[in-house]
Structure 1
Amino acid sequence: MTFDEFDAALDVLGWKIADFCRATDLHRNTPQRWKREGIEIPSWVPKHLGLLIDLHRLHATYLQRPKHDAGAGTE
């Protein structure tokens, strides 16, 4: 995973790097070190983000009300 792919995955989730660090118990500077020092992103990161993106999509598909129904039944 490249750092650009990492950033894109966070964008899909609507997360900032700080959100990812809190969720994974990483120090807040770790992802910036990956970028700045060219450290390879650990193999668990794309797997973790992939699962989170799958959950995000499932939630959007099956659990969120469609936007046009948001006010239905509140009259």
Structure 2
Amino acid sequence: MYPISGVLARLTGLSDEVVTGAEKRLTKNGAAFVALIDARELDRCHAHEAEHASLFLFTLKHQRPLAFPDPLDRKG
């Protein structure tokens, strides 16, 4: 973790580390604030999110309503 106030001077070096696979979290007032991630990883995250959303919508569209027994039905 790195305080955000001192990141600007180290941004190039931190970016190089992120591209090679390192995770970098920046803090503000001692608490996690933002993270640096490789742009390719961000693209993968967005693609995964879009795939998940499409699958969820497909499932909703093609799912049959659940049938629950009617508690007031006196048959059988």
TM-score relative to the length of structure 2: 0.38
Q: Quick one: higher RCO (CA 8 Å, sep 6+), 1 or 2?
A: 1
- More helix by percentage: 1
